[in-house]
Amino acid sequence: MRPAEVPGEVAADRSMPLLAVEGLSKVFDVSPPLLNRLVNGEGRQLLRAVDGVSFDIERGTTLALVGESGCGKSTVARCIVGLHKPSEGRIRFDGRLLAGMDEAREVRRRLQMVFQDPFASLNPRMSVREIVAEPLRVLGQSRGIRDRVDVLLQQVGLSARDGDRFPHEFSGGQRQRVSIARALASRPDFIVCDEPTSALDVSVQAQILNLMRDLQEEHGLTYLFISHNLAVVFNFSDRVGVMYLGRLVELAGTELLFGAPKHPYTRMLLDSVPDLAMSGRERQPVTGELPDPIRPPPGCAFHPRCPFANARCRIERPLPVRMEDGTMVACHAAEEGRLPPWS
């Protein structure tokens, strides 16, 4: 084992990305009970929710993960923060290998998460002050908690008096502000944002996104941002990764990916966004049914829905390839130059 692979050890090169994910896979056993399998003569059923995903995130930047529901975005996020134990692969944070869910408290303090549903992620029996203070108490802090909570509430646009209220007394946007305050309590460097605005009204979404951007600039935060909303992703992220059936199929800078997408699936996702400019360009939105994730198709997982698939796509899994413009794409058609220009 190399020294940099020892859990909790800090690598010497401080110029490396804050987070590096290498070959991450997560397999869930979704088999029926043993007795049912014996009666029906069935074997185990394994769901590969994440399948060999690799990416990194530079300090102070935002990487967005997009894709259809069930593509593995949230599972990646949960593996990073330790809510799921990876089946394969490695996750390095600031040069330290996160080998499981029992890493040093100091490492986990620096990784936090803001969940999708602000109505379900806050304990209704706890006051807002108790909710925001909980991470501090878990980390062993006993002094100055009240003052720290008051400052956090003010940072997210609430008042110190709101600390004595309970979650049910707040709107959805206010609850999400409480969730953000709780995430900031331990002074993290990295925050996973799992669709933090999807349950909110559009006007409230803008307020929360502006708040998160301001906090990023003020504290130098690094974000992994998960969303279905491509318009939000375009305005909020520095780079975008596109996932399909557990695999990362394209990774590029935001403007490059939206301006010159390489993977057919990425193109179809962008074509599903209303054309407000009325450019008249022929559009090809995503069609067909998502394959069974327990029995994914051979070769490229997207080939049953891809208009550019050929025999190679049906039998050979494409590996990520770096294109001339820096885009990482896993697509035989893109690699071979079989795709028409994007305009």
- Please name the residue that has the structure tokens 């305009």: 343
Q: What is the pLDDT of residue 303?
A: 94
Own/partner pairs, 272-275, CB within 8 angstroms, 24+ separation: 273/230, 273/231
Q: Which of 11-25, 26-40, 258-272, 308-322 has the lowest mean pLDDT?
A: 11-25
For 307, other C-beta atoms within 10 Å of its C-beta total 10
What the block records as the tokens of 219 is 């504290």
- Beta-strand (E) ranges in the chain? 19-29, 46-57, 62-66, 88-93, 96-98, 111-114, 190-194, 222-226, 239-244, 247-253, 321-322, 328-329
Indicate if the pLDDT at residue 6 is higher than 50.
no
**Whether the Cβ atoms of residue 177 and residue 158 lie closer than 8 Å to each other:** yes
For 289, other C-beta atoms within 10 Å of its C-beta total 7
Domain boundaries, the chain: 238-343
Average pLDDT, the chain: 88
Segment 25-31 mean pLDDT = 93
> pLDDT, tens digit, for every residue of 102-137?
555 667 789 999 998 888 889 999 999 999 999 988
Q: What is the enclosing helix (H) or strand (E) of 311?
A: helix 311-315
Q: What is the pLDDT of residue 4?
A: 43
Q: What is the pLDDT of residue 213?
A: 94
The pLDDT-based confidence of 12 (bands split at 50, 70, 90) is very low
Q: What is the pLDDT of residue 10?
A: 46
State whether the Cα torsion 268-270-274-276 is positive or negative.
negative
Segment 272-287 mean pLDDT = 66
Segment 19-25 mean pLDDT = 96
Segment 256-269 mean pLDDT = 93
> pLDDT, tens digit, for every residue of 140-176?
777 889 999 999 999 999 999 999 999 999 998 999 9
Indicate if the pLDDT at residue 325 is higher than 70.
yes
Q: What is the pLDDT of residue 277?
A: 56
306 vs 265: CA distance, rounded Å:
8
> pLDDT, tens digit, for every residue of 185-216?
999 999 999 998 887 888 888 899 999 999 99
199 vs 118: CA distance, rounded Å:
8
Indicate if the pLDDT at residue 3 is higher than 70.
no
243 vs 69: CA distance, rounded Å:
10
Q: What is the pLDDT of residue 2?
A: 39
- Adjacent-strand bridge partners of 87: none
